[in-house]
Structure 1
Amino acid sequence: MARERATALLVDFDGVLRHWDPAVAAGVERDYGLPNGVLGEIAMSWGLLQPVLTGKASHAEWMTSVAEALTPSVGDPARARAAVEEWQRYRGEVDQDVLAFIREVRAAGVRVGLGTNATDLLDADIAALGLADELDVVVNSSVIGVHKPAKEYFEAACEALETPPARVLFTDDEDRAVRGARAAGLSALRWGGSDDLRYLRAALAY
């Protein structure tokens, strides 16, 4: 039996709509004499990351924890804090192809949500990147208290979109999130780049 055509789109943020230039972190690490990749390695360690993604810690508290963990590599707490602050000034870049597609489908009447595991800095990032008026809903894990790939996350996203799961199309660059969405009843595509826009366009009912 064929699936219903999707009438709403849920898009991941980091890796799909927003991209990060790895040269920025590499430059900070070089300037502060840090091992290559250490900033991301510490920040993404699950013990530090999980609390901030579920709203149990603020973005500022997360970065303080990163600086504390970085201090042995730098030898000076103030220098570790400075490295983290410099790294965090860069807030990524919008994928213009994805943004153009979002504008296209919204103009055709398709509701578009941002579905992301994020911190309490998300609204500020969205505003700074000029995206505040480009989305119908934003589903932030730190606001709802549960993160992808949990079924409860996708249930909350579909509720925010006012669309049943069978009519929501989701795209994310992480396999776990895609599998979680499918388990929750959504259609889902593992994002591989702008070439996938052709598939998304064909899968939406507009």
Structure 2
Amino acid sequence: MARERATALLVDFDGVLRRWDPAVAAGVEREYGLSEGVLGEIAMQWGRLQPVLTGRVSHAEWVASVADALAESVGSPERARAAIEQWQRYRGEIDPDVLALVREVRAAGVRVGLGTNATDLLDADLAALGLVGELDVVVNSSVIGVHKPAPEYFQAACAALETPPARVLCVDDQDWVIRGARAAGLSAYRWSGPEGLRYVRAALAY
């Protein structure tokens, strides 16, 4: 039996609507004499990252913990803090094709939610990147206290979109999130780049 076409879109932030240029972190690592990839390795350690994504610690506290861990490896707290501060100044870039899609589907009456595992810096990032008013709802894991791919996350997202799960299309760049969305009853599409725009348009009822 064919699924109903989706009437709401839940789009991921990092990796879909926002892109990160890896050259920025690589440049900071070279400038401060750090090993290649160390910033991401430390920052994304799940035991450090999970609390900030569920709102148990603030973005500032998470950044401080990253600097502390980096200081242990470089032997200089001051150098570590300077490197982290420079790395954090870069807040990514909006994918213009994805933003154009969001605007297009919203203009056609499709509700669009930003569904993201994020910190309490998200609102500031959205403002800095010019996204205020571009989305109908923002579902931030650190606000609701649970992160993707938990079913409770998707339940909260569908409630915010005022749309039943079977009519929501989730677009994300992580396989584990796609599996979680489908398990929660949503349609889901694994994003790998602009070639996915055609699929998303076809999957939405507008």
- Deviation (angstroms), 1:76: 1.0
- Deviation (angstroms), 1:90: 0.2
| Residue 93 (structure 1) aligns with | 93
| Residue 60 (structure 1) aligns with | 60
| Residue 149 (structure 1) aligns with | 149
Q: Distance in 2 between matches of 1:82 and 1:192?
A: 34
Q: Distance in 1 between matches of 2:147 and 2:15?
A: 16
Q: Distance in 1 between matches of 2:72 and 2:66?
A: 11
| Residue 43 (structure 2) aligns with | 43
1:32·1:74 contact (CA, 8 Å) conserved in 2?
A: no
Q: Distance in 1 between matches of 2:197 and 2:169?
A: 12
> 162-171 or 71-80: which moved more?
71-80
SS at match of 1:171: strand
1:59·1:119 contact (CA, 8 Å) conserved in 2?
A: yes
- For 1:71, the aligned partner's letter is A
Deviations 1:5-46 (A, max 9, x none): 100000000000000000000000000000000000000001
1:12·1:171 contact (CA, 8 Å) conserved in 2?
A: yes
| Residue 140 (structure 1) aligns with | 140
1:156-167 map, 5 Å: 156-167=156-167
Q: Does 1:81 align with 2:70?
A: no
Q: Distance in 1 between matches of 2:82 and 2:22?
A: 19
Q: Distance in 2 between matches of 1:160 and 1:63?
A: 29
Deviations 1:55-113 (A, max 9, x none): 00000000000000000222111111110000000000000000000000000000000
Q: Distance in 1 between matches of 2:202 and 2:189?
A: 12
- For 2:53, the aligned partner's letter is L
Q: Distance in 1 between matches of 2:146 and 2:186?
A: 17
Q: Distance in 1 between matches of 2:170 and 2:51?
A: 25
1:154·1:184 contact (CA, 8 Å) conserved in 2?
A: yes
Q: Does 1:20 align with 2:14?
A: no
Q: Distance in 2 between matches of 1:158 and 1:72?
A: 43
Q: Identical aligned pairs, as a percentage? A: 81
Q: Distance in 2 between matches of 1:204 and 1:47?
A: 37
- For 1:179, the aligned partner's letter is R
TM-score by length of 2: 0.99
TM-score by length of 1: 0.99
- Deviation (angstroms), 1:183: 0.2
Q: How many residues align?
A: 206
| Residue 112 (structure 2) aligns with | 112
* Alignment root-mean-square deviation, CA: 0.5
SS at match of 1:169: strand
1:25·1:87 contact (CA, 8 Å) conserved in 2?
A: yes
